[in-house]
Amino acid sequence: MEKKIAPPEIAYKNMEFLESEEARTIRILSEILEPMYRLSKYKVHTTVLFLGSSRVEPVKEGSPLLKYYWDAEELAYRLASWAIKLKPKGKNFVICTGGGPGIMEAANRGAARAGGKSIGMNISLPLEQAPNLYISPELSFIFHYFFTRKFWLINKAKAVVAFPGGFGTLDELFETLTLIQTEKISKEDLFIILYGKEYWQKTINFDTLVNMGTISPEDAGLFCFCSTPREAFALLRARLRKFL
């Protein structure tokens, strides 16, 4: 009886290879190209990125950050309600978050309350951060590499709203400010709000950075402060209209 020889494995189905050191470039490209494909498929043109702490719980009474959860939910609700009525050819100003709990959950939750789609761009961590329940399933992403996640968080954003947060929020905020400062992104193309003036002015002394010469006076004008959903929504709506 003639012995049958198993066909060789197709390279793009060979998991041992795809998970190897040699295939790292392919994995990186996958995290660039797959989100590009999916965002195009669902006609997402532009986004509004919400940053903020993952440690805010909506039921944790007495937390100094609790009000920011509900402010983020309300602001996302107002933005999504407004954007839905624009009826563009596709989706503009879609709420986008890092996909986790806390402020991220609040923003996705607000968009869901408005009946809008929203994006969650999660990251695989040793202690897994599960996607929150309010992300639109078809727009839920998970990344292995932080830098590909950061690329997509900002790639389609026309505004960033940074709520109080820790190392992750500060990292993402200052990387974005650096991109604008160095003109990798035009300041006309990306509007940044630091939400919660009292928090940000206590956390970072921007005046000291200017006075010590580590940033220029005009660098301190790359963002503005807001402390109510109504104020932030009015500013965002006025700035975003030019992208329609």
Q: pLDDT tens, 168-177?
A: 999 999 999 9
Over residues 25-40, mean pLDDT: 96
Q: For the chain, give me the number of helices (H) and strands (E)?
A: 9, 7
| Least-confidence region, from 3-7, 21-25, 76-80, 155-159 | 3-7
Over residues 66-85, mean pLDDT: 97
pTM of the entire structure?
0.93
Q: What percent of the chain has pLDDT over 70?
A: 98
CA distance 143 to 153: 11
Query: pLDDT digits over 144-156, tens only?
Result: 999 999 999 999 9
| Helix boundaries (H) for the chain | 15-18, 24-41, 66-86, 103-113, 146-155, 167-181, 197-203, 206-211, 229-240
Q: What is residue 2's predicted lDDT score, i.e. its pLDDT?
A: 67
CA distance 135 to 141: 10
**132, 148 contact by CB (below 8 A):** no
Q: How many CB atoms lie within 10 A of CB 66?
A: 15
Q: What is residue 9's predicted lDDT score, i.e. its pLDDT?
A: 83
CA distance 123 to 146: 7
Q: What is residue 177's predicted lDDT score, i.e. its pLDDT?
A: 97
What is the average pLDDT score of the chain?
94
Does pLDDT of 60 surpass 80? no
Does pLDDT of 3 surpass 80? no
Does pLDDT of 184 surpass 90? yes
CA distance 43 to 67: 33
Q: What is residue 126's predicted lDDT score, i.e. its pLDDT?
A: 75
Does pLDDT of 218 surpass 90? yes
User: Predicted confidence band at 92 (pLDDT cuts at 50, 70, 90)?
Assistant: very high
Bridge partner list, 51: 162
Beta-carbon contacts of 113 under 8 Å, excluding residues fewer than 6 positions away, are 73, 77, 80
- Which of the pair, 203 or 5, is modelled with greater confidence? 203
User: Predicted confidence band at 128 (pLDDT cuts at 50, 70, 90)?
Assistant: low
CATH architecture of 43-243: 3-Layer(aba) Sandwich (3.40)
- Spans of all domains in the chain: 43-243
Q: Which of 14, 105, 110, 112 is nearest to 120 (CA)?
A: 105
**192, 220 contact by CB (below 8 A):** no
Over residues 122-151, mean pLDDT: 91
CA distance 83 to 241: 10
Does pLDDT of 50 surpass 70? yes
User: Predicted confidence band at 1 (pLDDT cuts at 50, 70, 90)?
Assistant: low
